[in-house]
């Protein structure tokens, strides 16, 4: 670990920014031409000859019920229907659609309490839209017609829409593996006392000058990735199961499908198509088990499963809603003496990644500030709601909404500037990071805050808005955060990469890292080209093919550039070294004396007239002809290929801040976001426009979480807004003026000093918006999202400050 660190430092200090050929440049994205033309192939665009269409029959009558009887005979009689499938017609094996359980050892997963309790089709409906049967037909119309003719008799069960309701002693049990419908709580064996933190919290509160506490609610937000989940599956004539899909984690899905259908992984082929957005909605499997079960039922014929938006909404996981209690203790001078918190999460109908979310919500809490003492407890209870799973930030936006408002409340009570408080008390290099196990390796949060404050005019506006009259009130708020770069040391990290030099010294990089729109294939290619010393056009990534690619975890935990990028860099360093070793032999010098130019000529640095073509070395390696005159072999034999299986032993969280300025119409309750400034300490921007893109898109989702986005239910547990008509997001004309600042402070571990940027952009706009509304109205809103109705109601109840 120490060696790796020194080596990395040398690399960064040795190469100045200007020396980079492609790192730091806004290169053309590798996928962009086909995307502006529309020729990029997404899963729904895959069409195979003789293709059938699948349809899952869903329960829309009840959010909680038992299937008493299921009669598929009328459906089977519809012309064009090839097969109808009930629970008994497919594997009875229980599984877990999430892949998080694969990322912990078996004993750890056991300690965490991970379970497998899902079935392809269920006889215990646990949420509105749960799947009970399947239809395979020659057309979508026939499948839909048949689905409408499925005769089901249900025994309705009580509907539980809150943890309190499902935890009641007489409540129907979701699974006998989780008594009391408690899906998860921090396990004692891993976190002593079932809690995170440090110090004597209760004692610290006794010594505090100010103690504040409140209970918040953070909403069930939907990722709304633009491409609904679609699939094609084929159980082919050679007995292989093929699945074209758009999971963020194709290799783990590969293993999950093989396990579920009890086939060797070599007999399962997963092809990741172009992915139309993820944000966590496709972290594990969504409908892969269903479509593969259908394909297995009709050997030799491909089955396509396309979900309408409304159905995709119900079947892909959303953000966990949470009830989040927090109590803070401060000394008069602002010293944060104690933090006590508990988040109780609404799990939805199935367990999925049950062990992870309630944990990480607390990790982000303990990672942010230097509290003298801290205690966090987290749990999740089953509810009759569509499943919850990963959504960009993974608990961090929830914590941001709560913690950052509470900090501002404390600062207001103590009359301390909230910006200065944050600068004084945020964690620094050397402090323990979010898991409380490894120290922060780099932190430029102060610079983020300084640049952000300057860009938005914090000091002037904060002072100006301190006293206002009139119906429209302005406010400015700040929020800070940090996130992660990969999942180490929490759960599994590993990326394999193979680099092959072709006969002309161009390179093929085989790596399973997912491009889900975030631009990772473009930035990984830049890392490969920079490391190999090859022109960008000479480097191609080959990804998304479970036959060709080795192991990788996939896109989650903001890991792809940080972990995948390092894997690519290491493999490319090896390939370059092999190439240079052959050149050194020919030029009778050492590797260190060599460099490569833009024409792929390897030359001696001190005497550039001594050079050899990289293409010749590579061609000779593959062809290795014998010289007809001498009989000697030309060149050194063997194609150059390098391989690494990289498992990081470090993590470099990015730090970031957001400032938001709002205007609240106190007569209508409407919030107009006037300006947003985010600054991120990203270590090094491999591709600045791609980094900005993550921050810009994250802001749209963060503002949405703060102000308007929530899935609603009626009393029966029916979802009332599972469409873009009823679930509103910010459109182009709703977005504020935005400034996104990249603060470059190379990290000792990240590839070329880079840290992550993927999820972070969503996090701090949430707290900053709430804090801006706090300044504008003098009211804190504990129940997200902060809609006009809630604002009007609060003004009515509490009155406006500064009137």
Partner 1 sequence: MSKHAITLKVNGASYDLVVASNKTLLEVLRDQLNMPETKYGCGTGECGACSVLVEGDVAINSCLTLAATMDGREITTAAGLQQNGELHPVQQAFIDHSAVQCGYCTPGMVVKGVSLLAKNPNPTEQEIREGLEGSICRCTGYVKIVEAVDAAGKAMAVAAD
Half-sphere exposure of 547 (CA within 13 A, CB side): 9
Buried-exposed string 611-637: b where 16+ CB fall within 10 A, e elsewhere: bbbbbbbbbbbeeeeeeeeeeeeebee
Shortest Å distance, C-beta 314 to partner 1: 14
Shortest Å distance, C-beta 74 to partner 1: 21
In the complex with partner 1, which residue's Cβ is closer, 541 or 690? 690
**Closest C-alpha to 500, from 620, 639, 616:** 639
Shortest Å distance, C-beta 54 to partner 1: 16
Q: Which residues bind partner 1 (CB under 8 A)?
A: 26, 28-29, 31-42, 44-45, 47, 223-228, 274-279, 306, 308-309, 516-519, 689-690, 692-693, 695-701, 723-725, 729, 731-733, 735, 738, 740
In the complex with partner 1, which residue's Cβ is closer, 1 or 36? 36
In the complex with partner 1, which residue's Cβ is closer, 617 or 754? 754
Residues contacting residue 713 through CB under 8 Å, at least 6 positions apart: 63, 128, 161, 385, 719, 720
Shortest Å distance, C-beta 685 to partner 1: 12
Shortest Å distance, C-beta 535 to partner 1: 19
Distances 180 to 36, 185, 382 between C-alpha atoms, Å: 51, 12, 9
Residue from 140, 420, 759, 789 carrying the catalytic annotation:
759
Residues 618 and 504 sit within 8 Å (Cβ to Cβ)? yes
Shortest Å distance, C-beta 620 to partner 1: 37
Measure CA 207 to chain center.
Answer: 40
In the complex with partner 1, which residue's Cβ is closer, 324 or 391? 391
In the complex with partner 1, which residue's Cβ is closer, 627 or 733? 733
Shortest Å distance, C-beta 564 to partner 1: 17
Shortest Å distance, C-beta 135 to partner 1: 19
In the complex with partner 1, which residue's Cβ is closer, 47 or 599? 47
> How far is Cα 523 from Cα 508, in angstroms, rounded to an integer?
15
- Sheet of 737-744: strand order equals 472-482, 655-665, 671-683, 737-744
Shortest Å distance, C-beta 695 to partner 1: 8
**Closest C-alpha to 282, from 235, 323, 318:** 318
3-class DSSP state of 323: strand
Shortest Å distance, C-beta 41 to partner 1: 7
Residues contacting residue 782 through CB under 8 Å, at least 6 positions apart: 214, 215, 216, 217, 405
**Closest C-alpha to 646, from 730, 721, 740, 749:** 749
> Which residue bears the tokens 């496709």?
282
In the complex with partner 1, which residue's Cβ is closer, 161 or 275? 275
3-class DSSP state of 659: strand
Residues 57 and 315 sit within 8 Å (Cβ to Cβ)? no
**Omega before residue 489 within 30° of 0, cis:** yes
Shortest Å distance, C-beta 357 to partner 1: 21
Residues 266 and 201 sit within 8 Å (Cβ to Cβ)? no
Reported in sequence order, the residue ranges of 20-85 that DSSP labels E, i.e. its strands, are: 52-58, 65-71, 81-85
In the complex with partner 1, which residue's Cβ is closer, 493 or 661? 661
Catalytic site residue 141?
Answer: no
The DSSP code sequence of 324-335 is EEEEEEE-TT--
Which two three-digit tokens encode residue 612? 């050899």
Shortest Å distance, C-beta 56 to partner 1: 17
In the complex with partner 1, which residue's Cβ is closer, 30 or 528? 30
In the complex with partner 1, which residue's Cβ is closer, 232 or 644? 232
How would you class 346 by CB atoms within 10 Å of its CB: exposed for 0-12, middle for 13-18, buried for 19 or more? buried
**Closest C-alpha to 745, from 803, 699, 681:** 681
In the complex with partner 1, which residue's Cβ is closer, 107 or 725? 725
In the complex with partner 1, which residue's Cβ is closer, 223 or 344? 223
Which two three-digit tokens encode residue 663? 């205007």
3-class DSSP state of 201: helix
753 φ, ψ (degrees, to nearest 5): 90, 5
- The strand pair at 268-272 and 241-245 is best described as parallel
The DSSP code sequence of 554-594 is -S-TT-IIIIIHHHHHHHHHHHHHHHHHHHHHHHTS-GGGE
In the complex with partner 1, which residue's Cβ is closer, 275 or 294? 275
Which two three-digit tokens encode residue 625? 């002809």
> How far is Cα 581 from Cα 509, in angstroms, rounded to an integer?
20
Q: Indicate the Cα dihedral angle 405, 408, 409, 413, nearest 10°.
A: 180
Shortest Å distance, C-beta 131 to partner 1: 20
> How far is Cα 496 from Cα 641, in angstroms, rounded to an integer?
13
> How far is Cα 360 from Cα 377, in angstroms, rounded to an integer?
11
The DSSP code sequence of 618-631 is HHHHHH-PBPTTT-
Which two three-digit tokens encode residue 368? 């942010």
Residue length of the chain:
803
Which residues form the catalytic set? 759
């Amino acid at each position: 670990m120490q060696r790796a660190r020194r080596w990395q430092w040398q690399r960064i200090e040795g190469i100045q920014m200007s020396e980079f050929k492609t790192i730091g440049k806004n290169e053309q994205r590798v996928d962009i031409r086909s995307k502006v033309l529309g020729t990029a192939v997404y899963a729904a665009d895959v069409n195979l000859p003789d293709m059938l269409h699948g349809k899952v029959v869903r329960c829309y009558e009840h959010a909680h019920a038992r299937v008493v009887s299921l009669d598929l005979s009328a459906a089977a009689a519809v012309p064009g229907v090839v097969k109808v499938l009930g629970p008994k017609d497919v594997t009875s094996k229980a599984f877990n659609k999430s892949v998080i359980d694969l990322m912990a050892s078996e004993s750890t997963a056991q300690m965490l309490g991970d379970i497998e309790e899902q079935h392809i089709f269920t006889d215990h409906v646990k949420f509105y839209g749960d799947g009970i049967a399947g239809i395979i037909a020659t057309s979508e119309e026939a499948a839909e017609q048949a689905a409408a003719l499925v005769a089901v008799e249900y025994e309705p069960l009580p509907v539980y829409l809150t943890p309190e309701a499902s935890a009641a002693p007489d409540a129907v049990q979701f699974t006998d593996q989780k008594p009391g419908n408690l899906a998860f709580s921090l396990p004692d064996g891993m976190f002593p006392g079932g809690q995170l933190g440090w110090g004597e919290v209760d004692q610290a509160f006794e010594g505090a000058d100010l103690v504040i506490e409140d209970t918040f609610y953070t909403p069930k937000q939907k990722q709304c990735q633009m491409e609904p989940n679609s699939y094609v599956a084929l159980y082919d004539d050679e007995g292989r199961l093929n699945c074209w899909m758009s999971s963020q984690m194709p290799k783990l899905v590969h293993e999950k499908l093989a396990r579920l259908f009890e086939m060797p992984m070599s007999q399962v082929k997963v092809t990741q198509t172009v992915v139309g957005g993820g944000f966590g909605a496709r972290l594990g499997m969504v409908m892969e088990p269903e479509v593969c079960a259908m394909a297995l039922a009709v050997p030799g014929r491909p089955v396509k499963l396309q979900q309408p938006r409304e159905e995709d909404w119900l079947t892909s996981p959303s953000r966990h809603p949470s009830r989040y209690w927090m109590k803070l203790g401060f000394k008069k001078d602002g010293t944060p003496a104690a933090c006590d918190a508990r988040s109780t999460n609404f799990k939805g109908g199935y367990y999925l990644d049950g062990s992870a979310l309630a944990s990480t919500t607390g990790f982000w809490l303990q990672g942010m500030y230097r509290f003298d003492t801290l205690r966090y407890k987290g749990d999740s209870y089953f509810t009759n709601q569509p499943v919850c799973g990963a959504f960009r930030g993974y608990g961090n936006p929830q914590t941001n909404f709560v913690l950052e408002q509470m900090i501002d409340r404390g600062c207001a009570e103590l009359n301390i500037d909230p910006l200065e408080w944050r600068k004084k008390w945020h964690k620094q290099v050397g402090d323990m990071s979010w898991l409380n196990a490894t120290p922060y390796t780099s932190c430029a949060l102060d610079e983020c805050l300084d640049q952000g404050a300057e860009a938005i005019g914090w000091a002037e506006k904060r002072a100006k808005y301190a006293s206002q009259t009139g119906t429209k009130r302005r406010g400015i708020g700040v929020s800070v955060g940090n996130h992660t770069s990969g999942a180490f040391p929490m759960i599994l990290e590993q990326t394999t990469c193979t680099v092959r030099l072709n006969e002309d010294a161009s390179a093929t990089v085989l790596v399973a890292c997912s491009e889900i729109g975030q631009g990772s294939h473009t930035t990984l290619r830049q890392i490969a080209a920079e490391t190999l010393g090859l022109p960008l056009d000479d480097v191609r990534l080959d990804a998304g093919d479970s036959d060709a690619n080795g192991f990788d975890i996939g896109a989650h935990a903001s890991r792809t550039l940080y972990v995948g990028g390092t894997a690519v860099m290491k493999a490319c360093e090896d390939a370059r070294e092999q190439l240079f070793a052959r050149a050194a032999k020919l030029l009778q010098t050492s590797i260190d004396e060599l460099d490569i130019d833009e024409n792929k000529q390897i030359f001696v640095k001190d005497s550039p007239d001594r050079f050899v073509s990289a293409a010749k070395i590579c061609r000779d390696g593959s062809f290795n002809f014998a010289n007809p005159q001498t009989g000697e072999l030309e060149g050194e034999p063997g194609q150059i290929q390098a391989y690494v299986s990289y498992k990081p032993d470090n993590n470099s969280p990015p730090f970031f801040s957001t400032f938001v300025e709002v205007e609240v119409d106190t007569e209508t309750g409407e919030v107009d976001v006037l300006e947003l400034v985010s600054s991120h300490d990203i270590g090094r921007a491999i591709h600045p426009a791609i980094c900005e893109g993550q921050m810009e898109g994250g802001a749209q989702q963060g503002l949405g979480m703060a102000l308007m986005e929530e899935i609603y239910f009626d009393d029966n547990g029916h979802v009332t807004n599972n469409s873009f008509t009823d679930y509103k997001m910010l459109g182009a004309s709703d977005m504020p003026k935005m400034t996104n600042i990249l603060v470059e402070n190379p990290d000792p571990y990240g590839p070329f000093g880079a840290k992550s940027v993927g999820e972070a952009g969503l996090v701090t706009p949430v707290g900053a918006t709430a804090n801006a509304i706090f300044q504008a109205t003098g009211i804190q809103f504990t129940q997200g999202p902060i809609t006009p109705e809630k604002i009007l109601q609060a003004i009515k109840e509490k009155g406006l400050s500064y009137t």
